[in-house]
Amino acid sequence: MTGLSLYALTGAVLVGFGIYGLLAKRHLLRRVIAFNLIGSGLFVFFGASAARGETVDPVPQALIITGIVVALSASALAVGLIVAKARVSGRALLPEEDDDA
One symbol per residue from 5 to 34: x for binding other proteins (CB under 8 A), - otherwise; what is it? Answer: xxxxxxxxxxxxxxxxxxxxxxxxxxxxxx
DSSP secondary structure letters along the chain: --HHHHHHHHHHHHHHHHHHHHHH---HHHHHHHHHHHHHHHHHHHHHHHT-SSS--HHHHHHHHHHHHHHHHHHHHHHHHHHHHHHHHS-SS-GGG-TT-
One symbol per residue from 50 to 69: x for binding other proteins (CB under 8 A), - otherwise; what is it? Answer: xxxx-xxxxxxxxxxxxxxx
Write down the least CB distance from residue 37 to other proteins, Å: 6
Torsions phi, psi of 52, nearest 5?
-70, 165
Write down the least CB distance from residue 29 to other proteins, Å: 5
The site for other proteins, by CB under 8 A, has a size of 96
Write down the least CB distance from residue 54 to other proteins, Å: 9
Write down the least CB distance from residue 40 to other proteins, Å: 6
In the region spanning residues 66 to 95, those forming contacts with other proteins, defined by CB under 8 A, are 66-95
